[in-house]
Amino acid sequence: MADGPTVRRRRLGAELRRLRVAHGFKLDEIAARLGVVASTLSRIEKGKAPIRTSYLRNLLDWYEVDDPRAKQLLVDMAREGHRKGWWADYDDVLPSGFDVYVGLEAEAKALRAYEANFVHGLLQTRDYATAILRGLHPRDSEEQIDRLVELRLQRQRKLDEGTPLDLWLILDEAAISRRIGGPVVLRRQLEHLVKASAWPNVALQILPFEAGAHAGIDGPFAILQFDLGDPDVACTEGAGGIVYLEKEREVRTCAEVFDRLRASALSPDASVAFIESVLTMLD
């Protein structure tokens, strides 16, 4: 999946930023030349928006990219960046900015995530996802909720495709204890977690309450890893939307936090036993 539109945009944006800096141009200066606000050019350089052909031609001239092969490579990247991913079918219900995350997740080779309050979307059952989304979007119609659930289930295909996503998930005890959807829905969700824990590309750990204060107490986060040298991306999500952390030191800090959480959490085998113990309390 490394040739998808989101990754292509990231590669192109990174190269355009490298060229700009190498030629001593400031972001505001180039944005003014293009006739756009600096935030628009920043989004292009971060791979969060496609670039117009006319803008790209101007940039290649200003950055003195004369080699025909180098030019064509960047033009091809821009063209691929305009392609629509499968998630574009859900533009009518996608929360603002969430298309970037779905694109990154769809093209990642591995995902490490810590969730504090509910089961991660990639391992949610349909009924559990419906209950979650109804709580998060109380003003949405049933049709909109159904569309969001379908989007979530489509994302889960990444776990069983030809080259499946490697998922390492740490769940806080609260995430498997909160009776989202009621005891029947939660039971089916926990049974699904037990089943998923046996998949070769899934590692699941539970962080029990008895761990006390821990490295991830600030909240949930995820780290996406890619092939072909594309840099990792860390992100956090809250009521205000998703925040992407792409600087090397930011991603490294998140990776260190995740490693500390792994050490504090129960082993995968002990985690399955813990989930099964929670299941007995739902009887």
Query: Are both 61 and 186 inside the same structural domain?
Result: no
Query: Are both 224 and 266 inside the same structural domain?
Result: yes
Say whether 12 sits in a helix, a strand or coil: helix
Q: What is the pLDDT of residues 13-34, one digit of tens each?
A: 889 998 999 999 999 999 999 9
CATH code, 180:
3.30.870
Query: Are both 238 and 181 inside the same structural domain?
Result: yes
Q: Which of 122, 116, 149 is nearest to 135 (CA)?
A: 149
Of 81, 114, 139, which closes a domain? 81
- What is the reported pTM? 0.85
Query: Are both 101 and 218 inside the same structural domain?
Result: yes
Query: Are both 223 and 265 inside the same structural domain?
Result: yes
Whether residue 54 is contained in a domain is answered as yes
Query: Are both 165 and 230 inside the same structural domain?
Result: yes
Q: What is the pLDDT of residues 102-126, one digit of tens each?
A: 999 998 999 999 999 999 999 999 9
Whether residue 87 is contained in a domain is answered as no
Task: Tell me which residue range forms the domain holding 38.
Answer: 5-81
Number of Cβ within a 10 Å radius of residue 67: 9
Give the pLDDT of residue 237: 86
Q: Is pLDDT at 140 greater than 90 in this prediction?
A: yes
Query: Are both 266 and 132 inside the same structural domain?
Result: yes
Query: Are both 149 and 249 inside the same structural domain?
Result: yes
Whether residue 86 is contained in a domain is answered as no
Query: Are both 116 and 256 inside the same structural domain?
Result: yes
Q: What is the pLDDT of residues 154-200, one digit of tens each?
A: 999 999 988 899 999 999 999 999 999 999 999 999 999 999 999 99
Q: What is the pLDDT of residues 248-273, one digit of tens each?
A: 999 999 999 999 999 999 999 999 99
* Strand-pair partners of 169: 113, 204
Instruction: Give the number of domains in the chain.
Output: 2
Mean pLDDT across 56-64: 94
Q: Is pLDDT at 78 greater than 50 in this prediction?
A: yes
Q: Using an 8 Å Cβ cutoff, are 265 and 206 in contact? A: yes
Choice among 44-58, 201-215, 228-242 with the minimum mean pLDDT: 228-242
Give the pLDDT of residue 1: 41
Please report, for residues 39, 69, 76, 245, the alpha-carbon distance to residue 20 in angstroms, rounded to integers and kept in the order given: 15, 19, 19, 21
Query: Are both 188 and 77 inside the same structural domain?
Result: no
Mean pLDDT across 57-69: 92
Whether residue 118 is contained in a domain is answered as yes
Query: Are both 102 and 208 inside the same structural domain?
Result: yes
Q: Which of 58, 269, 282, 275 is nearest to 185 (CA)?
A: 282
Stronger pLDDT, 126 or 49, i.e. the higher one: 126
Q: What is the pLDDT of residues 220-254, one digit of tens each?
A: 999 999 987 788 999 998 877 889 898 899 999 99
CATH code, 14:
1.10.260.40
Whether residue 130 is contained in a domain is answered as yes
Planar angle of CA 164, 166, 168, nearest 5 degrees:
150
Whether residue 89 is contained in a domain is answered as no
Give the pLDDT of residue 3: 56
Query: Are both 61 and 110 inside the same structural domain?
Result: no
